[in-house]
Amino acid sequence: MALLLATFLLAPPAAAQDEADPADSGPRTDTRGDNTNPDPGPDPAWIITGQFSNDIFGGSDSHFTHGTRLSALSPDNYVPDVIERAGKALPIFPQDGNLRVTYSLGQEIYTPERIEERELIEDDRPYAGWTYGGVGLVSENGDRLDMLELNVGIVGPASLADKTQIEYHKLINVQVPEGWDNQLHNEPGIVLYYERKWRNVWDVELGDFAMFNNLGVDLTPHLGAALGNVHTFGAGGVTLRLGEDLPADYGPPRIRPALPGSDYFRPEDSFGWYLFGGAEVRAVARNIFLDGNTFRDSHSVDKRPLVVDFQAGIAIMLAERVRLAYTHLLRSEEFEEQDGATQFGTLSVSVRF
């Protein structure tokens, strides 16, 4: 996995661009379809995204049970110098493409299957929460998107995940989890993520067929990796899309670890939509939510070294400003004692300002 990741990430871009100040940027060739159309140039919009993930969409209340994330993605080339220098200091980060900075806040909650039990359940995953802030650098050149993101936060009672889940369950009048006294201990967490996605590696316009007017199909492979005391893994996968205005984005965002999407979207029409499906394989070296605390003894389970995600969903773009999306994810068993796969859904709303 490491050799494959290095081979793809270190490969030179298909066509490099000279860096330019956005104020001086003229039209460049649009590689997202018809090459006779000029690219619209740097994007001046901020993009605000909210995500809500929950296993209620999968009909259960266990494993990855809830996640929320709020993010803000800057306009093109509106990046603090220190962040740009840090990203470009990495040999694998591209020197071409329009740059954006992303800021995020999020929380994730993990529980065992039998949340009604107060005692420690030794053959099931620990109770755990993760609350974090993130800053990242995004490079997009029309055919490829690179994402480098640093998340820093806290695992344990200080994450307030226990209070979030207990109060939410009281609000919707369902079983309150009883075992949060057995959760992982407080531990600062840090994860560095890198993802690369290639768009239009394979694409077909179906407009030549009357019954498929304005429809297209494309295939977007990706590679990625994470390094830190919360997650360490290498990943690879692919997403297939069918719909209208496919060049608008690289797929809706998901809460990690999962198939990567993107906060970025730039519609070309007042209305667009697509269906999507995909798969990702992760080689997992570290998962604190299964391995337990790094520096203290805690509850843990025997994780599986390979995890597979399958996803499907729909995205709709409205008025060249709003993207609505739903993703349903099926995850293979993550630890030896787990009885069956995990399912959950993610709703996301992105708005351009």
Mean per-residue pLDDT of the chain? 86
Q: State residue 129's pLDDT score.
A: 98
Of 119, 81, 115, 131, the residue nearest 101 (C-alpha)? 81
Whether 100 shows a pLDDT value over 60: the answer reads yes
- Higher-pLDDT residue of 216 and 236 is 236
Residue 37 lies in a domain: no
Residue 15 lies in a domain: no
Least confident among 35-39, 57-61, 244-248, 310-314: 35-39
Task: For 182-197, write each residue's pLDDT tens digit.
Answer: 999 999 999 999 999 9
Q: What is the pLDDT confidence band of residue 178, given thresholds at 50, 70 and 90?
A: very high
Whether 22 shows a pLDDT value over 80: the answer reads no
Residue 40 lies in a domain: no
Residue 289 lies in a domain: yes
Residue 33 lies in a domain: no
Q: Residue 55: which residues within 8 A CB-CB, separation 6 or more?
A: 61, 62, 63, 64, 65, 66, 342, 343, 344
Please name every residue paired with 137 in a beta bridge, in sequence order, or none if there are none: 101, 148
Domain housing 154: 2-7+48-352
Query: What is the separation of C-alpha 187 from the centre of its chain, rounded to a whole number of angstroms?
Result: 23
Of 196, 197, 283, 198, the residue nearest 234 (C-alpha)? 283
- SS3 (DSSP) at 147: strand
Residue 19 lies in a domain: no
Quick check: 241 and 217 in contact, CB under 8 A?
yes
pTM attached to this predicted model: 0.85
Q: What is the largest CA-CA distance in the chain?
A: 66
Q: What is the pLDDT confidence band of residue 82, given thresholds at 50, 70 and 90?
A: very high
CATH code for position 52: 2.40.128.140
Residue 307 lies in a domain: yes
How many domains would you assign to the chain?
Answer: 1
Q: State residue 26's pLDDT score.
A: 38
Residue 43 lies in a domain: no
Q: State residue 337's pLDDT score.
A: 92
Left if phi > 0, otherwise alpha if psi is -120 to 50, otherwise beta: which for 188? beta
